[in-house]
Amino acid sequence: MTTVTKAVLISMLSACAIATSAFADEAYIYNVKGIIKGMPGDRLAKNELLVKHQPIPGYRDDTGAIVGMMAMTMPFYLKEGVSLEGIKEGDSVELKVEQHLKPKFTEEVISVAKAE
Ligand SMILES: [Cu+2]
């Protein structure tokens, strides 16, 4: 193989790597501490949990920039099948929230556990 052929192959490979990462579905997981202010059903949707959460310093916006999120009360949406067994309004909890930026921006709670 000539040096020129090698150089062409290497540049083709790196072009592929760039193209792949542009389509990669990156997920970010946030551990969010808070207090349950509303359970699904009644005045909330079936997959909606209202939580007064602590600050989330590493939180990313829809561009992927780390912007953080201040403490607030807001709805979170549960991934299908996530258990809320033993969890009730007023409980201190730790949520695991999974965020995807691509192909579209989504955020879903993948687990809810009672905090110590
Ligand atoms: Cu928030």
Q: Is the pLDDT of residue 52 over 70?
A: yes
Determine the distance separating the centroid of ligand 1 and the alpha carbon of 72, expressed in angstroms.
Answer: 5
pLDDT given for residue 19 in this prediction: 45
pLDDT given for residue 26 in this prediction: 80
Please tell me the least confidently modeled range out of 12-21, 33-42, 70-79: 12-21
Determine the distance separating the centroid of ligand 1 and the alpha carbon of 79, expressed in angstroms.
Answer: 17
Determine the distance separating the centroid of ligand 1 and the alpha carbon of 81, expressed in angstroms.
Answer: 23
Determine the distance separating the centroid of ligand 1 and the alpha carbon of 57, expressed in angstroms.
Answer: 11
- Domains, the chain: 25-114 (2.40.50.320)
Computed over every residue of the chain, the mean pLDDT equals 87
pLDDT given for residue 24 in this prediction: 59
Q: Is the pLDDT of residue 10 over 90?
A: no
SS (H, E, C) the chain: CCHHHHHHHHHHHHHHHHHHHHHCCCEEEEEEEEEEEECCCCCCCCCEEEEEECCECCCECCCCCECCECCEEEEEEECCCCCCCCCCCCCEEEEEEEEECCCCCEEEEEEEEECC
Q: pTM (2 decimals)?
A: 0.78
